[in-house]
């Protein structure tokens, strides 16, 4: 990596750090209209929803690099595909847990339920299991070139299920999530000023994903370089 | 940042619903989470994200520790061969 690229890489990471800080502050301080039942939890729009957007972006990045593995056969794309899938899964898990907390103290209040098989929630869990299988598949193949190809092929199948599980099926069923009524993105009750924080939150969390993802790619590349240098018995 | 008090539905003791169906007292965790217009739910969500990312960062850190050890070992081996 040249010095110039490095400098921009550093600058962009500082911008992300400040950006996320601003989003966190604005997310708590922005005036939002009173909505019965939701009250201040409507602010979770700025924190829970970007988790899923970030996961989707991460899985698309992962799929892109898997496709590149199949066309170019370069192992760097395998590293990128794997790390994007890992970081994406982390964001997906965070989205799942934050959604559980949100629902527990609003819609499921008094029922003592943490999990009620809301269609979107269930499909998101299925989606994460599909990606879990991707990691299991990877760990089951010791030879790196074979692993790269097979995992890439599986990953392309996995990403195809994503729009159906997250965007098509949940909207066909009664759900706590918006979309079933025909409006895919925002409820009618969503105040316009909330978008002023929501969109920057999306950019911020996707930026944070990119930061962690590139960091892990660098880490994994070092590991691969060491694997070539060091004899296997010492590892 | 409280919401105006007047828009809260005020329950009076004359309310028939209130007198006929006594609700079970909310659990302690619910009392906390529902106070201050449920702002603590948002805090909980943000903390989950923070701790989740922290845990992940620590895991990456451990992997980097291992890489550092291996690099050291690698360097030690190289200097050994030079001296031989």
Q: What residues contact A150, with CB distance under 8 A and at least 6 apart? A: A137, A141
The pTM (predicted TM-score) of the whole model is 0.86
Q: What integer is the mean pLDDT of A101-119?
A: 87
Cα dist. A36→A26, A41, A78, A223 in Å? 22, 10, 48, 52
**Segments in chain B below pLDDT 70:** 1-24, 84
Alpha carbon distance, N-terminus to C-terminus of chain B: 72
Question: Would the CB atoms of B53 and A90 count as touching at under 8 Å?
Answer: yes
Query: Which residues of chain B lie closer than 8 angstroms to A16, CB-CB?
Result: none
- Is the pLDDT confidence value at A65 over 70? yes
Residue A176 sits at the vertex; the CA angle it makes with A172 and A179, to the nearest 5 degrees, is 45
In 3D space, the residue among A174, A43, A73, A59 whose CA is nearest the CA of residue A117 turns out to be A174
d(CA B74, CA B84): 16
Q: What integer is the mean pLDDT of A38-63?
A: 94
Per DSSP, chain A holds a count of helices (H) and strands (E) of: 6, 0
Residue-range domain boundaries for chain B = 5-83
d(CA A179, CA A163): 14
Residue A190 tokens read as 């969503």
Question: Would the CB atoms of B70 and A40 count as touching at under 8 Å?
Answer: no
Overall domain count for chain A: 1
Q: Which of B30, B41, B64 sits opposite A219 (nearest CB)?
A: B64
Q: What per-residue confidence (pLDDT) applies to A184? A: 52
Please provide the average confidence, as pLDDT, over all residues in chain A.
89
Residue numbers of the domain that contains A201: 3-234
Cβ contact A90:B56 at 8 Å: yes
Question: Would the CB atoms of A51 and B49 count as touching at under 8 Å?
Answer: yes
Rg, Å, chain A Cα set = 20
Query: Which residues of chain A lie closer than 8 angstroms to B56, CB-CB?
Result: 87, 90, 212
d(CA B46, CA B16): 39
Band of pLDDT at residue A191, cut at 50, 70 and 90: confident
Question: What CATH number is given to the structural domain containing A74?
Answer: 1.20.120
Residue A29 tokens read as 């301080």
pLDDT digit string (tens) for A122-140?
999 999 999 999 999 999 9
Q: Which residues 205-224 of A are in CB contact (within 8 Å) with B?
A: 208, 212, 215-216, 219, 222-223
Measured in angstroms, the CA of B14 and the nearest CA of chain A are apart by 22
Query: Which residues of chain B lie closer than 8 angstroms to A52, CB-CB?
Result: none
In 3D space, the residue among A212, A197, A189 whose CA is nearest the CA of residue A83 turns out to be A212
ipTM of the complex: 0.88
Least confident interval from A5-19, A38-52, A188-202, B39-53: A188-202
Question: Would the CB atoms of B42 and A105 count as touching at under 8 Å?
Answer: no
Cβ contact A79:A220 at 8 Å: yes
In chain A, what percentage of residues exceed pLDDT 90? 64
Running DSSP on this structure, what letter comes out for residue A40?
G
pLDDT digit string (tens) for A146-190?
999 999 999 999 999 998 898 888 877 777 787 766 555 566 557
Running DSSP on this structure, what letter comes out for residue B1?
-
Put simply, whether A98 touches B (Cβ < 8 Å) is yes
Question: Would the CB atoms of A101 and B71 count as touching at under 8 Å?
Answer: no
Q: Which of B30, B45, B56 sits opposite A109 (nearest CB)?
A: B30
Helix axes A48-72, A75-104, angle to 10 degrees: 160
Put simply, whether A110 touches B (Cβ < 8 Å) is yes
| Closest-CA residue of chain A to B3 | A34
Most confident of A30-39, A109-118, A210-219, B75-84: A210-219
Residue A209 tokens read as 């994903």
In 3D space, the residue among A15, A62, A17, A47 whose CA is nearest the CA of residue A197 turns out to be A47
d(CA A67, CA A143): 19
């Amino acid at each position: 990596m040249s010095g110039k690229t490095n400098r921009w890489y550093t600058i962009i990471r500082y911008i992300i750090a400040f950006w996320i800080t601003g989003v966190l502050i604005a997310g708590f301080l922005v005036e939002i209209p009173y909505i019965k039942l939701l009250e201040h939890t409507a602010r979770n729009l700025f924190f829970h929803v970007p988790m899923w957007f970030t996961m989707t972006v991460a899985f698309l990045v992962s799929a892109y690099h898997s496709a590149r593995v199949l066309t170019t056969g370069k192992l760097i794309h395998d590293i990128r595909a794997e790390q994007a899938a890992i970081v994406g899964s982390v964001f997906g898990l965070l989205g799942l847990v934050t959604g559980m907390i949100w629902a527990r103290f609003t819609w499921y209040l008094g029922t003592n339920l943490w999990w009620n098989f809301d269609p979107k929630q269930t499909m998101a869990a299925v989606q994460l299991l599909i990606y879990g299988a991707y990691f299991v598949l990877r760990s089951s193949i010791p030879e790196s070139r074979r692993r790269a190809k097979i995992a890439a092929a599986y990953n392309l199948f996995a990403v195809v299920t994503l729009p159906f599980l997250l965007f098509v099926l949940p909207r066909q069923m009664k759900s706590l999530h918006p979309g079933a009524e025909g409006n895919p993105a925002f409820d009618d009750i969503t105040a316009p000023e909330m978008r002023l924080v929501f969109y920057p939150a999306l950019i911020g969390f996707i930026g944070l994903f990119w930061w962690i993802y590139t960091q892990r790619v660098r880490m994994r590349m070092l590991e691969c370089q060491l694997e070539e240098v060091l004899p296997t018995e010492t590892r | 940042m409280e919401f105006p008090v007047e828009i809260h539905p005020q329950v009076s003791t004359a309310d028939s619903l209130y007198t006929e169906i006594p609700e079970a007292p909310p659990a302690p965790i619910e009392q906390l989470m529902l106070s201050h217009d449920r702002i603590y739910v948002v805090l909980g969500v943000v903390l989950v994200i923070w701790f989740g990312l922290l845990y992940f960062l620590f895991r990456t850190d451990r992997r980097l520790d291992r890489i550092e050890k291996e690099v050291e070992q690698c360097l030690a081996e190289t200097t050994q061969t030079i001296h031989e």
